[in-house]
Amino acid sequence: MFTESHGVCQKQGKPKVLILNSKVTEVATHIDEWEQLSEYFDFVLYELTTTAALQEYLPTSGISALWISAEFFNVVNGLNDILDYLPPSMKLLLIPWVGYEFSDPKMLREKYDITVCNIGPNSAANAAELAVHLSVSCFRLTSFWEHCFRFMAPSIRGAREFVGGTECEVVPPIAVSEGPLGDNEVELKGCSTSYMFPKRKQDQKRLNLSKECVIANKQMDSLFGKRVLILGFGSIGQAIGKRLSLGFEMEIFYHKRSGPVKDGTLPYSPTYLASLDHETCSEIDLIILALPGGPGTENMVNEEFLSKFKDGVRIVNVGRGSCIDEDAFFKGLDSGKIASAGLDVYKGENSNQIDKRFFQRWDVTLLPHIGTMFGSYYVTATRITLKNLESFFIKGEGGIYPLN
């Protein structure tokens, strides 16, 4: 990976890299790069137990870098709980994913002289393919169809009896898990007994599918050739646009606070909207959120925002759950302003306080934040994080993907 001439850290002692783990590790310790860099770094796999234990350990740990993990947030409320316990030797915070809203890179540089690195654009394709899945589900209502076919009407003819229906009814649960809750589970009070589900078509009137292809009065459609607005047009938003444009011939619009991307840099031709007050918003069929979290995007999708779009717009969120005002979201679903949605992120997900109303909706496809939940992603994330380490400590370049 590098020559002996780069091995300054060996002469000065190995920098200690603290890797935070609990019951799950996200680090690919079996790859060649790990073994090679173990010659130059002291990797410490620290098992998280309590915030207090970590706070006690850190001041005398002598660490040079902290490798964060998703498990960290299951034990510690946030980064602020440990900042004042970090030793002076700590110079690098490693984030093995893209999002960094839980940290303040500018403050970490100014107050603690800490560099923050993430993995750059290397997970964009993974988030994009999940956004495509959620988009298809929004238009074709595939989550409803699978649930219906598996549990409500396990025959082709029986399932199709729901087409043309205009109402919902309260139904009992299909299955309730038994036994004690797992460490990271939360009791969904109020929705473990019943939920709303579409009724079968009630009348005997002849059904014209060309005009009445609906489930509980919600239209099924194809996303082919539709108009999509992507909010958050960084590497992930651009990757989503590429797949929807080239694969589904959708017309791509985007809004980006930093302005339009340079012409000719993408293999498709999206249209930049300088403002969300643009008249085009009223013609958008699908809104995809690929936004970061933080004060600038919190509750961005609210009643005022939704009023700019036509009734029956569909929403996909693969960015951050904090971007959606959930009261406005559910009101929109009930009124028909929002036809359907597909979500992989939620407010309160880190504290297991996801709004129970999500689990009572048949018209929302729900995924448990799995945008990068597969083995080869963790291998890639480990490789990029190791390159950040090598760049910072061995080559003196400041990291491959520094954020400050």
| Residues classed as catalytic | 320, 349, 369
> What are the backbone angles phi and psi of residue 354, rounded to the nearest 5°?
-70, 135
Based on its alpha-carbon atoms, the radius of gyration of the chain, rounded to whole angstroms, reads 24
How far is residue 164's CA from residue 48's CA, in Å, rounded to a whole number?
A: 53
Q: What is the number of residues in the chain? A: 404
CB distance 117 to 68 below 8 Å: no
Angle between helices 235-248 and 124-140 (to 10 degrees): 50
Cα atoms in the 13 Å half-sphere on the side-chain side of 324: 31
- Tell me how far apart the alpha carbons of residues 389 and 374 are, in angstroms, rounded to a whole number: 23
Q: What type of residue sits at position 260?
A: P
Q: Give the DSSP letter of residue 298.
A: T
d(CA 350, CA 313): 28
Query: CA 47 from chain center: how many Å?
Result: 25
For residues 232, 234, 239, 243, the Cα torsion angle rounded to the nearest 10 degrees is 40
What whole-number distance in Å separates Cα of residue 187 and Cα of residue 191?
Answer: 9
Q: What is the DSSP letter of 350?
A: G
CB 248 within 8 A of CB 241: no
Q: Could you tell me if 268 and 241 are in contact, meaning their C-beta atoms sit under 8 angstroms apart?
A: yes
Question: And the tokens for 172?
Answer: 């009992």
Dihedral in degrees, nearest 10, Cα atoms 244, 245, 248, 250: 100
Kindly state the DSSP code that residue 181 receives in the 8-state scheme.
Answer: P
**What is the C-alpha to C-alpha distance for residues 94 and 102, in angstroms, rounded to an integer?**
13
Q: Which of 331, 326, 134 is nearest to 230 (CA)?
A: 134
